[in-house]
Amino acid sequence: MDPNCVSDDTVKRLPGTLKSIRIHQLAFLFRVATSVLQQSSVNGHYLADSVGNGKTIAMLALFVLKRIVQLNRDHIDSHPELHLSEGQRERGDRCPLGDSFGIQCLCEPGNPLAEYEAHMARGFDLQVVTRQLEAAWCDEYQAYVDTIINDTSNPLYGEPVLHGYVIDTDRGLLAMRETSPALTFKDLHIKVRYKPTNRQYVTVNPGEKLLYFDQYVSKSSAAASSPWSGPSVKVWVKEKGSNPKQHHVIPRALVSPSSISIDEYHQCDGRNNKFNEAIRAICTRTQPCSQPRPWVFFQSGTPFQKGATDLCASHEIIQCDVAKSRLFDEAMKEVSRQQRQGIHDDEDNETAAVIMQAVRHISPWVTARAPGSPILAGSRLSRQLPPYLRTCLNFKTPQQRQAAYHGHVEQARNEIAAAMSASAAGGLWPLLSVNQDFPWRADAVNRDLSNEDDSLYFRHVEDYTGNDPMFAKLETIIRDASQGVVNHRNTRHSDSRPFHVLLYAAFPATAAASYAFLKTKCSRFAEPVLASSNLTPPKRVELIQHMSDRARVLERDGIPKSIVLVTTFGAMGTGSNQLVFCNVMVKFGEPWLATETEQAIGRLQREGQLRQVHVLDFFRDDNDAETLIRERNRIRDRILSNKRLSGNRLLPNLPLS
């Protein structure tokens, strides 16, 4: 691709795909392919583009690119007479086949794809997603990846592109397309024999339980020569003062993928997370046939949950150089120290130096961009959507409930103090179990709402909403939305069609209360729907499709009603990418992490959204717990979004250079 012809409107369709990708997605492929020339000790990348900017398609494009590159290498090995000779390469000639492969041919000198191909193992790619994301990934795969290379001018014409499978715990591997061959788990297994050696000593910390063979290997006195996996293994453990006892330990997965990619990686918190432990074990094993270790890719629009040290676990997995890994950890810890100090001076030079040092460590292996971010020299990621509008609405607890509220707070403080002093057991549980009849936990809420005629939430709507200005304001907002109106402070936004609303609550009880209120008080101009955490992924997809279809009917027939989807951050805060029929987000309560709000907004503010997005943030400023969480989230975010460093922020405006 000619750099002089590149702009933010540039698109390209890779061989074996069904649609084009945009320039920032191409730039991601370029960064990954050239990273081996810059940092050969790093085997992986973190794609942290802002929510709704096409990370799924970019990752699928990377899988396709690797396949095309390896097919190109096979073609060179099978038909060397059609490619450059050694002498022609020394002269810097172009391949006789030109650009017919759809990429620069690997036989050409100076092609970074050749180095990238040499560092990539052959084998399957493993994409890890949560169960609720599975259907969306399958849809994206089938919409983007073709079955074969259909370009007759391509030397690879007729070659299969990729075969996609879904892991089903009961039925094994399920092919996404009928054209893919049937496979079982055994077809992917690497067969390894375990040869017992002399006695090996393992030191185990008190109370530590070792369940997996790899855990013994990592602690063994002969770990370097131990196999990385094998069949069921018997291990004898001798504790001090007792005879050896036999333990049956579970071998880790008998697979050696070419690459591993994890979506919504921000949910894999900490080094000791099971996903991180499993991936480290797979990557650090002796690979079969001496092939390269798997590359690991992480995806999340919100990589920072608590601070810069959140990146340490992912960097440790892909960084092969232990010394560099330690340097990275120290740099991230220094950022966290600055964060904890609560810097008040935006011009603080020490803070700027710490941030810039962290950027230098992060930039080579993290791609994190938002609209307006640099992509390539002279080009920036275009804003395909207008920025969303956000308004905070402050409320106080109704006067008649303030005494009871403060009494609960004081009782909670006493319970916590008693628990911490060890004078009583149970912590907050005695307080929360005083009224066992009123459902507040997720399972109890779901049971209560399963029969609305006998639901405590529906029977007591007047009790918890009467004279409360917050619910009165919610009613006004929904009524206005049904008329195609949203008010932001003194600005009125109007449309000829109704606005549809996505209401996020911090807790299941809050969601239930809001749903009961809307259905009881607002049914003339609203159609509320509740999406709880116990909704299965297929049912979730079915529900969203039904609401989307219903929204189109309301707009087509000119019916002044708003669809209101009520849910929680935990139930539908990530992964649901088909909610763009909603245009207004109401936030009821502060989630535990600020990034949960950003993820939730990304359900609406993403590709496919055709109208302005409005975010209305409800906040009780006399709620001590919510105030505390909001302030903590603000402090955490301060260093990572420092205005003075807006040109070099860690997120989301990280430069590529």
What would the pLDDT profile of 453-468 be if each residue is shown by its tens digit? 888 888 888 887 878 8
What does the pLDDT read at residue 359?
Answer: 77
Residues linked to residue 173 through DSSP beta bridges, in sequence order: 167
CA-CA distance, 234 to 232, in Å (whole number)? 7
Per DSSP, the three-state class of 175 is strand
Q: How many CB atoms lie within 10 A of CB 550?
A: 17
What does the pLDDT read at residue 424?
Answer: 34
pLDDT in tens, 200-255: 666 666 666 666 655 665 555 443 333 434 445 666 777 677 787 776 665 555 67
pLDDT in tens, 43-85: 999 998 888 888 999 999 999 999 999 999 999 999 999 999 9
Residues linked to residue 126 through DSSP beta bridges, in sequence order: 260
For residue 262 the two structure tokens come to 């994890």
- Confirm if 494 and 611 have CB atoms less than 8 A apart: no
- Confirm if 611 and 315 have CB atoms less than 8 A apart: no
Q: What pTM was estimated for this model as a whole?
A: 0.73
Among 310, 418, 286, 145, CA closest to 651 = 310
- Confirm if 594 and 633 have CB atoms less than 8 A apart: yes
Among 532, 424, 420, 522, CA closest to 477 = 522
CA-CA distance, 44 to 319, in Å (whole number)? 8
Q: Is 543 exposed, middle or buried (0-12, 13-18, 19+ CB in 10 A)?
A: middle
Q: How many CB atoms lie within 10 A of CB 257?
A: 19
| Calculated CA dihedral for residues 569, 570, 573, 575, nearest 10 degrees | -170
Neighbouring residues of 229: CB distance < 8 A, sequence distance ≥ 6? 190, 192, 213, 214, 251, 252, 253, 254, 285
Per DSSP, the three-state class of 645 is helix
Q: Alpha helices of 310-450 — where are they, by DSSP H?
A: 312-318, 322-340, 349-362, 399-420, 429-432, 442-449
Residues found in the chain: 657
**Residue indicated by tokens 């809001």:** 514
Helix axes 322-340, 349-362, angle to 10 degrees: 150
Domains of the chain: 3-188+255-367 (3.40.50.10810), 405-434 (no CATH), 441-620 (3.40.50.300)
Residues of the chain with pLDDT under 50: 194, 221-231, 343-347, 376-379, 416, 419-435, 639, 641-657
